[in-house]
């Protein structure tokens, strides 16, 4: 492991001149990290391992591992919970939420990134609140309103409810991204006679693509994993996977434990694929972008 | 107004003219054109047609976030069973079982957030510098995001249950002589909150930590500060505001615990958290008014805790940390 303080020359030796080199295990901080890390992993492996083993086992009572191995539970879970339809709903909801939130979010983020105007702080707060307030708090009044307008229980209702945290999420991730695109590029395009339409399509859009991809992948992961809002607004025909899973567990009894576990493993598997894709596009450590001091804008700038 | 604009106002009236209201006074009005057009004055302050692009987003949130929230507030003051505007709140705070849900939730959320923050610091320290396999380790640490509450709950029930691997291992080593009771109670929910909450606090801590300029630490090392002192006097003070935010976000996540309290916990007893009560009121007894009232109480308690933490944070140094922007 590299030393904490980077050497000016970038050398990877860990000893400071004059101080004897300390091996990594001589530092107490490392021990704490290794213990936290190890404890976390052992338990995580256990938590994933139990449903995984159960979903692949024939019978499992008090032994360490199931008596035999089978894959039949996956097939029976697929039929029993009509997972084909559930997966289709989940994909439809997720794609609709991503598309709408990107369209609304990116345009708003552009305005917020390029203009300083009176009341900007209030607008930023409006975009921050749905992310800070946990879904269940505003979900209950939101679901009540959606029931009033007969939208709850339909696919539209589920999409609308899921958009509430997604739009601000896109705005907040895209605003710093757009800020770093030099406004002079747009100005130059206009100087060369480009109309608004071609500035948008041929100058801005290609520059925005990486940011839009990152934001959409994160919104996708969030929407597929969003339990509370979907739970409060979904009807029997508009359940996403995570809600169907909850109902399968909560109304257990006639269901076999193994098929529920098989369903849970399928859910985690699909989420894992999405996460690995997301990590390819997004540097997660840069999610927190520091609010920089506003640079005074020149009138007529941008 | 036209009198003041046209023909040069007398000096005594210059300050009180209508043009002085709102914003910097416009340049001395020319005889012919009057003040610059409204459109120009607005554009100078950043209000122009580009701003219209923000309209759909703002409108959307006003309709689907602010309106339901205000509707909920209004609804909470119109109890279904009558008894005055505050009847719901009186009922909540008058009933020890309902009132107790606040304490039950805090007892779960505060330790969970603390554990997540404190565990995230050493792990983030270890993984901030590049090393071989860093990507894999980071991915593994973030992985619990994908588990979802239900698989976590199922896993915990099997893993920590009386016949689970955890108890088997403890019995095998001889640490305990009868299986520990870890599920369907407080501990199961706490474990679930830690597992699902840790990735978030780790990611936040890591990004705050990598935002601190390494040259500050190098300077301290040059001046002879030991590693321990560098941590105590350089990194920790710079990290503390970020940790406060991390704590707030983990707390908010943990405070709204719902599925795991239902599945791994003891939803009628020791983990009867406030969100279960709100859900049951609104969607099982169909008392939307009471449900909204409880949701509002929930938001108020949460905001109170966040406000306390942020007030403490405002006492800390919050200047630039000189790292990446």
Which one of B148, B212, B320 makes the best mutation probe of the A interface by having the most chain A beta carbons within 10 Å? B148
For position A23, what pLDDT does the model report? Answer: 63
Residue B86 near residue B77, CB atoms below 8 Å:
yes
* Mean pLDDT computed over B117-136: 82
Domain extent at residue B261: 96-314
Residue B307 lies in a domain: yes
Which residue from A34, A51, A116 is facing B155, i.e. has the nearest CB? A51
Percentage of residues in chain B having pLDDT higher than 70: 86
Percentage of residues in chain B having pLDDT higher than 90: 7
Residue B270, Cβ density class (10 Å: 0-12 exposed, 13-18 middle, ≥19 buried): middle
Question: Minimal Cα distance from B46: which residue of A?
Answer: A117
pLDDT in tens, B139-170: 888 888 777 777 788 888 888 887 788 888 88
| Chain A from 217 to 236: CB within 8 A of any B CB | 221, 225, 227-228, 232
B30: which DSSP letter? B
For position A120, what pLDDT does the model report? Answer: 85
Chain A contact set for B134 (CB, 8 A) = none
Chain B contact set for A289 (CB, 8 A) = 325
Flag whether residue A213 sits within 8 Å of chain B, measured between CB atoms. Answer: no
| Chain A from 78 to 97: CB within 8 A of any B CB | none
Which residue from B126, B210, B282 is facing A285, i.e. has the nearest CB? B210
pLDDT at B35 over 80: no
Residue B34 lies in a domain: no
CATH code for the domain in which residue B248 is found: 1.10.3720.10
Residue B160 near residue B166, CB atoms below 8 Å:
yes
- Alpha carbon of A58 to those of A52, A259, A279, A289: distances in Å? 12, 11, 35, 50
Question: Minimal Cα distance from B154: which residue of A?
Answer: A51
Instruction: Map out the domains of chain A as residue ranges.
Output: 24-70, 76-286
For position B62, what pLDDT does the model report? Answer: 92
- Six-digit token pair at B73? 């507030």
Q: Tokens 């704590």 label which residue?
A: B247
Which residue from A137, A164, A168 is facing B256, i.e. has the nearest CB? A137
- Alpha carbon of A80 to those of A121, A265, B148: distances in Å? 51, 15, 21
Which one of A136, A167, A204 makes the best mutation probe of the B interface by having the most chain B beta carbons within 10 Å? A136
For position A252, what pLDDT does the model report? Answer: 59
- Alpha carbon of B148 to those of A83, A273, B151: distances in Å? 17, 14, 6
Q: Do B163 and A232 touch (CB under 8 A)?
A: no
Residue A271: name the closest of A48, A22, A42, A36 by CA: A48
pLDDT at B1 over 50: no
| Residue ranges for chain A with pLDDT beneath 50 | 1-19, 287-302
Beta bridge partners of B34: B30
Q: Do B56 and A104 touch (CB under 8 A)?
A: yes
Say whether pTM exceeds 0.90: no
Which residue from B56, B140, B203 is facing A107, i.e. has the nearest CB? B56
* Shortest Cα–Cα distance, B21 to chain A (Å): 15
Q: Do A48 and B147 touch (CB under 8 A)?
A: yes
Chain A contact set for B54 (CB, 8 A) = 107-108, 111-112, 123
What is the distance between the alpha carbons of residues A256 and A55, in angstroms, rounded to a whole number?
A: 10
| Chain A from 40 to 69: CB within 8 A of any B CB | 40-41, 43-44, 46-51, 54, 61-62, 64
What average pLDDT does the structure give for chain A?
A: 78
* Shortest Cα–Cα distance, B186 to chain A (Å): 17
pLDDT in tens, A235-285: 888 888 888 888 887 775 666 778 888 888 888 888 888 888 877 776 655
If phi > 0 it is left, if psi is from -120 to 50 it is alpha, else beta; for residue B16 that is alpha
For position A26, what pLDDT does the model report? Answer: 66
Give, to the nearest 10 degrees, the angle between helix B87-94 and helix B288-314: 70
Residue A104: name the closest of B68, B62, B46 by CA: B62
Q: Tokens 């601190």 label which residue?
A: B212
What average pLDDT does the structure give for chain B?
A: 79
Number of domains comprising chain B: 1
For position B60, what pLDDT does the model report? Answer: 92
Q: Do B151 and A268 touch (CB under 8 A)?
A: yes
* Mean pLDDT computed over B90-102: 88
B14: which DSSP letter? G
Q: Of the given ranges (A196-200, A293-297, B44-48, B267-271), which has the lowest mean pLDDT?
A: A293-297
Q: Do A286 and B242 touch (CB under 8 A)?
A: no
* Shortest Cα–Cα distance, B11 to chain A (Å): 29
* Shortest Cα–Cα distance, B100 to chain A (Å): 18
Question: Minimal Cα distance from B253: which residue of A?
Answer: A134
Question: Minimal Cα distance from B49: which residue of A?
Answer: A111
What phi, psi does A21 have (nearest 5°)? -60, 135
pLDDT in tens, B223-249: 988 888 888 888 888 888 888 888 988
Most confident of B143-147, B189-193, B225-229, B284-288: B189-193
Residue B58 lies in a domain: no
Residue B321's pLDDT band (cuts 50, 70, 90): low
**How many residue pairs bridge chain A and chain B with CB atoms within 8 Å of each other?**
290
Residue B142: name the closest of A275, A282, A32, A51 by CA: A275
Q: Residue B163's Cα: distance from chain center in Å? A: 37
Which residue from A127, A138, A290 is facing B325, i.e. has the nearest CB? A290
pLDDT at B24 over 60: no
* Shortest Cα–Cα distance, A31 to chain B (Å): 9
Q: Do B146 and A271 touch (CB under 8 A)?
A: yes
SS3 B1: coil
Residue B159 near residue A49, CB atoms below 8 Å:
yes
Q: Which CATH class is domain A76-286?
A: mainly alpha
For position B25, what pLDDT does the model report? Answer: 46
| Chain A from 17 to 36: CB within 8 A of any B CB | 27, 29-30, 32-34, 36
* Mean pLDDT computed over B36-57: 79
Q: How many helices (H) and strands (E) does chain A have?
A: 12, 0
Q: Do A50 and B154 touch (CB under 8 A)?
A: yes
Q: Do A2 and B129 touch (CB under 8 A)?
A: yes
Give me the interface pTM, i.e. the ipTM.
0.74
Q: Do B145 and A290 touch (CB under 8 A)?
A: no
Q: Which residue has the higher pLDDT, B237 or B8?
A: B237
Residue B14 lies in a domain: no
Chain B contact set for A267 (CB, 8 A) = 148, 150-151
């Amino acid at each position: 492991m590299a030393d904490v303080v980077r050497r000016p020359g970038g050398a990877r030796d860990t000893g400071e001149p004059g101080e004897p080199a300390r091996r990594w295990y001589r530092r107490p901080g490392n021990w704490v990290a290794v213990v936290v890390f190890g404890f976390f992993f052992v338990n995580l492996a256990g938590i994933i391992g139990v449903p995984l083993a159960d979903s692949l086992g024939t019978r499992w009572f008090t032994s360490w591992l199931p008596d035999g191995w089978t894959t039949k539970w996956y097939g029976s879970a697929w039929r029993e919970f009509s997972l084909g339809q559930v997966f289709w709903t989940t994909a439809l909801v997720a794609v609709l939420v991503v598309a709408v939130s990107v369209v609304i979010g990116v345009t708003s983020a552009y305005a917020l990134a390029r203009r300083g105007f009176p009341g900007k702080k209030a607008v930023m707060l409006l975009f921050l609140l749905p992310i800070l307030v946990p879904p269940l708090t505003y979900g209950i009044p939101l679901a009540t309103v959606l029931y009033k307008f007969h939208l709850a229980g339909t696919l539209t209702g589920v999409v609308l409810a899921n958009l509430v945290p997604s739009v601000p999420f896109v705005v907040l991730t895209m605003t710093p991204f757009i800020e770093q695109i030099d406004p002079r590029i747009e100005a130059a395009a206009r100087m060369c006679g480009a109309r608004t339409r071609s500035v948008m399509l041929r100058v801005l859009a290609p520059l925005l693509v990486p940011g839009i991809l990152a934001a959409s992948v994160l919104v996708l992961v969030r929407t597929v994993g969003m339990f509370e809002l979907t739970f409060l607004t979904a009807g029997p025909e508009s359940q996403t996977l995570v809600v169907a899973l909850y109902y399968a567990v909560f109304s257990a009894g006639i269901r076999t434990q193994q098929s529920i576990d098989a369903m849970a493993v399928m859910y985690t598997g699909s989420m894992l694929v999405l996460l690995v894709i997301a990590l390819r596009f997004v540097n997660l450590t840069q999610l927190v972008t520091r609010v920089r001091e506003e640079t005074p804008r020149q009138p007529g700038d941008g | 107004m036209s009198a003041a604009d046209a023909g040069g106002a007398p000096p005594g009236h210059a300050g009180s003219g209508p043009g002085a209201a709102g914003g910097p006074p416009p340049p001395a009005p020319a005889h012919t054109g009057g003040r610059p057009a409204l459109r120009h004055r607005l554009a100078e302050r950043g209000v122009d047609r580009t701003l219209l692009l923000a309209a759909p987003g703002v409108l959307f949130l006003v309709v689907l976030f602010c309106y339901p929230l205000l509707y909920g507030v209004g609804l909470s003051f119109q109890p279904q069973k009558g008894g005055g505007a505050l009847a719901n709140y009186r009922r909540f705070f008058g009933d020890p079982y309902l009132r107790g849900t606040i304490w039950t939730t805090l007892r779960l959320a505060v330790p969970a957030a603390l554990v997540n923050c404190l565990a995230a610091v050493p792990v983030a320290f270890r993984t901030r510098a590049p090393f071989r396999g860093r990507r894999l380790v980071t991915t593994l640490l973030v992985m619990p995001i994908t588990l979802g509450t239900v698989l976590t709950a199922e896993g915990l029930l099997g893993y920590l249950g009386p016949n689970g691997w955890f108890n088997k291992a403890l019995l095998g080593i001889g640490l305990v002589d009868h299986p520990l009771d870890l599920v369907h109670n407080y501990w199961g929910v706490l474990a679930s909150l830690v597992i699902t909450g840790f990735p978030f606090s780790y990611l936040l801590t890591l990004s705050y930590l990598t935002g601190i300029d390494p040259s500050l630490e190098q300077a301290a090392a040059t001046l002879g500060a030991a590693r321990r002192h560098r941590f105590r006097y350089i990194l920790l003070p710079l990290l503390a505001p970020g940790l406060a935010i991390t704590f707030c976000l983990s707390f908010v996540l943990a405070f709204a615990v719902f599925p795991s309290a239902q599945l791994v916990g003891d939803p009628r007893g020791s983990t009867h958290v406030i969100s279960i009560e709100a859900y049951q009121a609104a969607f099982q007894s169909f008392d939307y008014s009471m449900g909204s009232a409880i949701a509002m109480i929930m938001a108020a308690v949460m905001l109170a805790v966040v406000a306390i933490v942020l007030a403490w944070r405002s006492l800390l140094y919050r200047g630039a940390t000189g790292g990446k922007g």
